[in-house]
Chain A
Amino acid sequence: MAWNEPGGNNKDPWGGGNRNNDGPPDLDELLRKMQQKLNGLFGGKPSDAGDGRPGGGSFPWSLVMIVLAVVYGLWGFYQVDANESAVVLRLGKYHNTVNSGLHWNPPLIDHVTKVNMTEVRTERTTGQMLTEDASIVDVVLQVQWHIDNAESFVLRVRDPLKSLQEATDSALRHIVGSQTLNGVISQNRTQVAADTQVRLQEYLDLYQTGIRVDVVNLTDAKAPREVQDAFDDVVRAREDEVRLQNEAQAYANQVIPVARGQAQRMIEEAEAYKSRVVESARGEAARFTALLAEFQQAPEVTRERMYLDAMQEVMSNTSKVMVDVEGGNNMMYLPLDKLTGGASGGASQRTQVTPQVVDEISQRVMNQIRTEVNNARRSREVR
């Protein structure tokens, strides 16, 4: 039992056996021989069994061989999925790359590495980096990639993923280093991503990683936390600028129409004044002309009539004090301050001075004057 453990786990028994018989090692020949030997075993099985059994007690070698061969044969089957490729090394040497399907390769001789070719994977890099204007910017970048060349990916570079990380870091920092801060943050974001993608692919090809970059996204590019408040303030200032303009515009939009309205009002009022003045002039002129015509018909009478009419109106509408000042030697007391005070007196009293009060005062004054005048006359008559 002990012997078949190394034999089962190692390819060497077959190769070794052949080599001892056939001399220098040649891989293809070796395989061929092996195949022949296997065929021989299959074909020779009955006779071997026949020989073995009569011998009695002899171990059934052929059976063991057959079982081993079957196990070995089944062991060599493997499946490659639709999204995979498998890189086959035969005795360490690159043999071929196979695509989806069921495949068989001799185990232990061939070494199969399967890689997923269609899965899009994501690599992220983030950090503070320097820009062209020696500012610092916080960038988060995402790279989506897939394996393009399975052979390169498996065989050419020791650690493709680490290479990808390093190349991403280097390419991104290179591109950011040739952009200004404002460019990275706002204007040239897409440009940064595109340039990084080109450069990154260049590096990956140079390192033979077999990786193809699908998309590079500049997920985030902003000022570092340490200066974020200052950047926010710029945004606020921009809004302030717009707000101030809008407020001023609103003011203008209000002031000018109001002024226009007021201007129109002034003009309308002037028009009204003009009409009023002109029309009243026309009216008065017409009235005068008409009156003049009548006056010229009978000047004396008309004049007299008009005079008397006017005097009547004046006299009937005013308080009258008739003074005969011929007798200049008579002292006459007229309480003019009271008379006028009652009429146009202090502003403080004006509200209380009703027409009745004025009438009453005037009446009293008139009475007093009358008695004075009568007295004077009587004294004159007496003389």
Chain B
Amino acid sequence: MWKKCKRYTFLYGKYFSNHLKVMMEYKADFFIGLFSVMVQQFTALFFLKIVFDHIEVLKGWTFYEILFIYAIAFLGRSIHHIFFDNLWTLGWQYIRSGNFDRLLLRPVNPLFQIVAERVQQDGFGQLIIGGIVLTIASVNLEIEWTVQSLLLLFVFIISSGVLFVAINLFFITFSFWMVDSLPIVVSVFQLSEFAKYPLTIYPKAVTLIITWLIPYGFTAYYPATYFFERESMVAMALITPAIAVLSFVIAYWFWNKGIRAFTSTGS
């Protein structure tokens, strides 16, 4: 197990250093991508700011509370975007083109190969903006940080990233049966937009769906409320890591099922 870990870490390092070389080759690209993604995030924030210039609270939520939720969503999403972006391309870049067979021939986990084959540098823009927004929001909310709460925040952000990965992995796996399930993934991903706002603004049915069916609610809203000084849903926040792990396990189990279905039709 330890040996395997070491080998995969080594391999990822190799892939990563190759990416760095490519990135440095096209420096302008890197900065255009970084800048564009930051502007894009900024648009969403500016929109919120304009609205809050005219109102004080949004159904009981203040501007900085919503910013804080946004920030956690940005950070979780950026983890997914930087390291796992290649998942989107499973259908058209691997299965349709027959590239997936190439991955199966190697003695390395195919999911690892797909993930490692691309680092999406534009995601760093999201990471930067997320960090800035989080700082601004927590200063204004006067959150008292302790080692314990910072650690918890870190765990929440990682969980958020894992959730994005798990949900995408689950739905992209359908590609093994239908060649390319990207349209489904894109539709489902659209649901994550709901999670940007406090879930209390939606009717019960919507909240239930993005909490228990497709758990985007845990990518930002539930963990964020933990840090607000009001009777928040502490329990919901604290089960976030468990939900993330569970989702990933389900998605990975489904993925393996998909691979088996795929290989059996291949010959």
Question: A and B, one complex?
Answer: no
